[in-house]
A and B are shown apart, each in its own frame.
Chain A
Amino acid sequence: MRRIISVLLENEPGALSRVVGLFSQRNYNIETLTVAPTEDETLSRLTVTTTGSDKVIEQITKQLNKLIEVVKLVDLTEGAHIERELMLVKLKATGSQRAEIKRTVDIFRGQIVDVTSSVYTVQLAGDSDKLDGFIQAVGTSGVLEVVRTGVSGIARGEKVLSL
């Protein structure tokens, strides 16, 4: 099953490489990985999406917790949560395609953020399925370049991941 694990990490050099090293060393999957500092400058927030059986996921969370620099973590997929990913796409946009793409971008509630005579650059946020859906809708033949941030997530309601 796909899981989103969110981690508070000491904001120190080497901490990230320990997390990434753990995944490759123990043969765990990383589908996406995002990391950035938080409002508390001593902490980074890292989100990793991974897949595995319940047993593997349990090991992943336990092994992550063992890393000295991991302060706290939560498996967001255990409860209601919000997940978002940002995507920037360059699309070939000439002739009649231009209007068609514009319509699709609107349907997906994206924005065209840059334009040339032959290219649209589109920005789109949402969960990963939605981003996949957009690529499908516009058709891969017109896609010149895709960049995705990977998943960020947060629990719904009052639950917070903090110290």
Chain B
Amino acid sequence: MELLSGADMLIRSLQDEGIEYIYGYPGGAALHIYDALFRQDKVKHILVRHEQAAVHMADGYARATGKPGTVLVTSGPGATNTITGIATAFMDSIPMVVLCGQVASTLIGEDAFQETDMIGVSRPVVKHNLSVRHPEEIPEVIRKAYYIASTGRPGPVVVDIPKDMTTPNERFEYAFPKKVKLRSYNPAIRGHAGQIKKAVDMLLAARRPIIYAGGGVILGKASDQLTELVRMLGYPITNTLMGIGCYPATDKQHLGWLGMHGTYESNMAMHHSDLILCVGARFDDRVTNATEKFCPGARIVHIDIDPASISKTIDADVPIVGPVDAVLKEMIALVRESKARPDAEALSAWWKQIEEWRAFHGMRYENNPEVIKPQEVIETLWRLTNGDAFVASDVGQHQMFAAQYYKFDKPNRWINSGGLGTMGFGLPAAMGVKLTHPDDEVLCVTGEGSIQMNIQELSTCKQYNLPVKIINLNNQALGMVKQWQDMNYESRHSQSYMESLPDFIKLAEAYGHVGVRIDRKEDLEPKLKEVLAMKDKLVFVDIYVDRFEHVYPMQVARGSMKDMWLSKTERV
């Protein structure tokens, strides 16, 4: 047996866990750990400029790769700076482990320098948190943390490590546990066979069915199974903002995404359906609109790994608790075996109706020969990148436009903070993606409001050569806030203007990058082409877009799914 210090055990455990990257920022309580990191080269550390960005980077990495991200910070302010990032990951069920230094165990509770009760502070926004109480426990705690973070419904796990747990000159026997056993944590490994059978019977008997898929399909790596089932049945499918890419957006069975800013046809089809098969989604308020008016004629089958997501807001007629891939696989087999077939006449009538809805609205916006429309920027990017880029977005109108007009055919490519809606997420998330996908196009679609919430990371990009393309849809306002003020507060634009914007071009250059400004419509495509051709450069593209544009469709507040604004003047 080898004798190692707690700090060395920690790093060795990360190696044994197969961790490639840590995103972090050092400080007093973490210095033993940082020294251990220095004395090895298997685990690479990325030094960010603000701890929040470290968490979003780990998050972007996790969303793109499906593997848990890792963060290392010091106690007190280092730890509290991670909270927004942790809450962001928690709301979207992203697997990650956040390692936090802590003051020595002998000082805990004494208001020591840089002491914060991180276990307490993080409790409501983590899947779980653990503290190290003896250095010998470190390998087991680390193994447990990754196990909990990445199994069942994934989520962030915080590990609190008092400084005296990592003292260099106290050594202990190191052994990395092969397995973890937690008697009180047993995520479902398959769905209930009887329920699955019932669901398939209902699915085949439906006359106006719709599949409603969510981020759980992506987290559960079940896109292939979902696509197979949906194609087999020939049914329409819609997905949530978090589910974008779980089914090819360019496929004719795909109606686009649903909810507050979803497509007209998705929301109409949901409202008029007689059967909803919900796969890994959670009937969030941004999807359902007023729950008491939600899809009055629909029976609901709900598949989810988390029983607490089922019948939380909308009651399920057939609940199925289990991993989506396994459940879908069983459903595919049952559909294949079954003698029942969907009623062809009913299905073709249903499709006819859906096609009418699609023709009535589809996705459209008013073009204007004078100004650049934010939607056309996204459409152009989609074309120029062959629909194959990773797109990390910030939060606001630009996020909705990106989600609406970039058609994702693959999972894990649309990277956004859906649940918490965290401005400042985009750039660091894009960096986390770029680091592990150096040969892929990685775009950060942002706004002049959001980008300034983590702009300091341009410096990290320089240090690690992360040539992401920042697409700043500059409408010179907190556009989404302004849109709500236009619609609900008689256009009183309280604090939603961004005055004294920086010169983003010079700013990019100051950090050692390239800045490109686009403010004429005819320049849009040629300049974007030039930008995309600069493969090894980070380019900050500052695009002056229509300042008055709104995001549509938009569901009418407190209405049903089918109540929508389709433009500033049309309401259905």
Please report A residues at the B interface, Cβ cutoff 8 Å. 10, 14, 17-18, 21, 25, 55, 58-59, 62-63, 65-66, 68-72, 163
Nearest chain A residue, comparing its CB with the CB of B129: A14
Nearest Cβ on chain B to A143's Cβ, whole angstroms: 36
In whole angstroms, what is the CA distance A21 to B306 when docked?
20
Is the Cβ of B123 less than 8 Å from the Cβ of A18? yes
Is the Cβ of A63 less than 8 Å from the Cβ of B182? no
Is the Cβ of A68 less than 8 Å from the Cβ of B148? yes
Q: Which of A21, A63, A72 contacts B123, CB < 8 Å?
A: A21
Nearest Cβ on chain B to A14's Cβ, whole angstroms: 6
11 residue pairs A–B, Cβ–Cβ below 8 Å: A10-B184, A14-B129, A17-B120, A25-B124, A62-B308, A63-B308, A65-B307, A68-B127, A68-B184, A69-B184, A71-B183
Nearest Cβ on chain A to B561's Cβ, whole angstroms: 21
Q: Which of A17, A58, A71 contacts B184, CB < 8 Å?
A: A71
* Contacting residues, chain A, for B380 (C-beta < 8 A): none
One digit per residue, 1 when the CB lies within 8 angstroms of any chain A CB and 0 when it does not, for chain B 108-127 equals 00000000000110011001
Question: Considering the complex, which residues of chain B in the window 122-162 have a beta carbon less than 8 Å from any beta carbon of chain A?
Answer: 123-124, 127-129, 131, 148
Interface centre among A21, A59, A62 (most CB of B within 10 A): A62
Nearest Cβ on chain A to B559's Cβ, whole angstroms: 23
Please report B residues at the A interface, Cβ cutoff 8 Å. 119-120, 123-124, 127-129, 131, 148, 182-185, 306-308, 311-312, 315
Is the Cβ of B119 less than 8 Å from the Cβ of A68? no
Nearest Cβ on chain A to B90's Cβ, whole angstroms: 12
* Contacting residues, chain B, for A21 (C-beta < 8 A): 123-124
Q: A21-B124, A68-B128 are in contact. Are A62 and B184 (CB under 8 A)?
A: no
In whole angstroms, what is the CA distance A71 to B184 when docked?
4
Is the Cβ of B308 less than 8 Å from the Cβ of A59? yes
Is the Cβ of A59 less than 8 Å from the Cβ of B312? yes
Interface centre among A17, A55, A66, A70 (most CB of B within 10 A): A66
Is the Cβ of B312 less than 8 Å from the Cβ of A17? no
Q: Which of A17, A66, A69, A72 contacts B306, CB < 8 Å?
A: A66
* Contacting residues, chain A, for B308 (C-beta < 8 A): 59, 62-63, 65-66
7 interchain residue pairs of minimum CB distance: A62-B308, A71-B184, A68-B128, A25-B124, A68-B185, A62-B307, A21-B123
Nearest Cβ on chain A to B244's Cβ, whole angstroms: 26
Q: Which of B120, B148, B184, B315 contacts A70, CB < 8 Å?
A: B184
In whole angstroms, what is the CA distance A68 to B151 when docked?
12
In whole angstroms, what is the CA distance A65 to B307 when docked?
9
* Contacting residues, chain A, for B184 (C-beta < 8 A): 10, 68-72
* Contacting residues, chain B, for A10 (C-beta < 8 A): 184
* Contacting residues, chain B, for A70 (C-beta < 8 A): 184
* Contacting residues, chain A, for B131 (C-beta < 8 A): 14
In whole angstroms, what is the CA distance A86 to B184 when docked?
31
Nearest Cβ on chain A to B292's Cβ, whole angstroms: 13
Interface centre among A18, A55, A59, A68 (most CB of B within 10 A): A68
Nearest Cβ on chain B to A25's Cβ, whole angstroms: 5
In whole angstroms, what is the CA distance A32 to B455 when docked?
49
Nearest chain A residue, comparing its CB with the CB of B307: A62
In whole angstroms, what is the CA distance A163 to B183 when docked?
9
Nearest Cβ on chain B to A23's Cβ, whole angstroms: 12
* Contacting residues, chain A, for B148 (C-beta < 8 A): 68
9 more A-B contacts (CB under 8 A) besides A21-B123, A58-B311? A10-B184, A62-B308, A63-B308, A65-B307, A68-B128, A68-B148, A68-B182, A68-B185, A163-B183
* Contacting residues, chain B, for A17 (C-beta < 8 A): 120, 123
